[in-house]
Amino acid sequence: MKRLILASSSKYRKELLDKLGIEYDAISPNIDEDFYKKTIHDPKELSTILAKQKAKAIFKQYPTATIIGSDQVCHFNGKILSKTKSVKKSIEVLKGLSGNTHELITSFCLIQGDKEILHTNITQLKMKVLTQSQIEKYVKEDNPIDCAGSYKLEQRGICLFDSIECCDHTAIIGLPIIALSKDLSQLGFDLFQSL
């Protein structure tokens, strides 16, 4: 059986990959994301480059394994919204997104030997008009300080939205499983083995 490695320490990506029922290891790629965020201002380019760099960092250590690198960028009004790491900043971000549409750009890079597969999913999200009180209650409930855009759609964050346009809802959480499962099958992984 081929070894599969998820180049990530994200619990959200692990939970998504677990849905496929295949064995894998998760290893943090430890790349300097801030370096790329300071130099690349196009959100799609940033998402794809970070996904690729994460995969390459682990592939250097494990060249016989198949590596999945993934990244997600939240984009609004020409700005890239990073994880806030604070309640106060999350409230500010949600106030800005309230009543507006923004994009979540999620990319993954698969590397196996000399093969490299890159996929990007773009989701349009229209947030409801929210009051200060609603925003504060939500942030207290979900504590989304570790999420781009300051919300968790897999939890109470779904209540914040009027509409979400995407072809794969798992991309919103951090890893487009529909496309990934197709590409893993093409690389020789049997996704039905555990069924």
Q: Quick one: pLDDT at residue 13?
A: 93
Closest listed residue to residue 5, CA positions, set 63, 53, 46, 45: 63
Q: Residue 127: pLDDT band by 50, 70, 90 thresholds?
A: very high
Which pairs with CB-CB distance under 8 Å and at least 24 residues apart come from 50-54?
A: 50/107, 51/107, 51/108, 51/109, 51/118, 52/109, 52/116, 52/118, 53/29, 54/7, 54/8, 54/29, 54/109
Q: Quick one: pLDDT at residue 194?
A: 59
Angle at CA 55, nearest 5°, toward 50 and 60? 125
Round to whole Å and give the CA distance between 125 and 160.
10
pLDDT in tens, 131-183: 999 999 999 999 999 888 999 988 899 999 999 999 998 998 889 999 999 99
Round to whole Å and give the CA distance between 36 and 48.
11
Domain boundaries along the sequence of the chain: 4-186
Round to whole Å and give the CA distance between 46 and 74.
11
pLDDT in tens, 46-100: 999 999 999 999 999 999 999 999 999 999 998 999 889 999 999 999 999 999 9
Query: Residue 136 contacts by C-beta under 8 Å, 6 or more apart in sequence?
Result: 91
Angle at CA 76, nearest 5°, toward 72 and 79? 85
Tell the CATH topology of 4-186. Answer: Maf protein (3.90.950)
Q: Quick one: pLDDT at residue 129?
A: 98
Active-site residues: which are they?
71
